[in-house]
Chain A
Amino acid sequence: MHESATHEGLGKRINRFFYAEETPYGLALMRMVLPAVLLIAALPRALRVRELYSADGAAAPLWENYGYPGLLPVPDATVAVALFTLMLFCMVTTLVGWQTRISLLVLTLLYPYFGMLDSASTLTKYTVVATHALALLCCSHCGSIWSVDAWLAGRRQWNPLTARSPRFAAWPRRLLQMLVGLVYLGAAITKMHTPAFFSGDQLTYWMLTESNFDNPIGDYVLLYPALILVVAYVTIIWETLFLFVAWQGTARILMLGIGLGFHFMTWATLGLIIFPLVYCSLYLAFINEQDVQWAAVRLRHLRQRILPVRLRFARSGTDRAAVEPSRAWATYGIAAAALVLVGIELERRSDPFGVARPEGRYQLEPLPPERVREMMTHDRPLRPIDKLFSFDVGTTAFGGVLVDRRREFDHGERAIVQCSVQHPHEDMWVGIDLVDADGHIVHQGGQVLPRETLRTSIFYDFSDALADGEYWFVLRLDGREVSRRQIFVGEDGKPAGATTDPAFALR
């Protein structure tokens, strides 16, 4: 009896979770924001359609990467331009909610198709996430409110407190929420497969790359390895928990808040732009009716306080007459066809490869011989300095990574001398000598650095036998000195003024 009641309860809960009726405010907002974000990436590519997506250019089909040549057709330039223009048109019509369902359907087909046609410079994981979102929006009634469609249907719709809003089952929004959580779970699994993520090395090298857009603080964050480690652990915990706790109450606010911060930082440190915007637009699926009504009440209060009475406009209390559907369809079709024709003609006139220039086609210029000689000298052995990533002296390690950098030590203190190297590297002998100001070797040490390891540390205790003064830790790779760090030992040995060692600035 108890067991069957539990089953019934679970079934009812699942039924309520997916089929409870609600006004799709969150999805309507997503319908407006997501295409706008996708337009940011699509518009620069609109000028390169012939080159990126057509058989008359240099398409880079994804299916060839997987060994499926010819899986889908690569269109010629005219067809590619026509379809791309249609895709842009549908992004705009989705944004305003004009023939929303058909616009989303076309987008759901064309958007991933163009992504797959150019796996080099269009397809990314944000393309995939957006494709899922478009497909799910296509199944929803996101165009039923705050849209041209609703306006044409003659519904009052703008104020959530007074509108006669249609209600539908919540399952498309639920699936979008689950998509967000599952993508985070997949991302967490990726990190679990990447040991270098937990030492901060992966993030460090990603922040150093020039493959993404410029970022404002990535290079500075590199100076604080402890911060990178903390963020790495917080990220993986948050990504793992998201799917399970981001549903209601404080946990929802917390998870979404961390998410916004996380995606902001992917811009600030890694230079990602479209991916965080796509993801933040997916967060709109977490907005429910109560959130919208809460916001509407506060907006009304705000408006009453800010706007003078005479400027407050009241909307008509009656619904407009609906526009005949066949006329709306015809207008939509004519607008799409006209835009496609304009797009084809504009692209043809733009002469993207310069074949119709008055001065003739472009001519290739030969490269200077010295540049050719430089590029044709292949596979030179690495210089020892290029095997080294960093060489630092400090006292505190966190997760195996030195997190402070110091130059002044007292007798009795223990220094950690850490050497980090580039990957991949051979099994190496990392020699670390302590040399006094006159160049005499005071202590010789070293360690084997196996090929699977990126850093090694030695500990050095400054005993009383060591005279106060200036010393150097000298790093040798391949038997040659590649780096040295200046330190000062004892009270009398510390410099009176500013130090000359630039690494000291990190303290």
Chain B
Amino acid sequence: MLILFMGFFITPVFAQEITNPSLIIDSIEVPAEKFNVVYEIRQLYHLMLFMLLVGK
């Protein structure tokens, strides 16, 4: 009886629409032109690695 009674009051709570304030939903479409570039940071990383190896 107790569980049946509580069901009338508790179940409707889940029907409420309250959004989570931390929720972020986003969609980004990256066009093809953006990929036709050279990654400069990677080049810098390889240059630094090369300089370290040469230094040794």
A binds B: no
**Contact surface of B with A, Cβ cutoff 8 Å:** none
- Spell out A's residues near B (CB within 8 Å): none
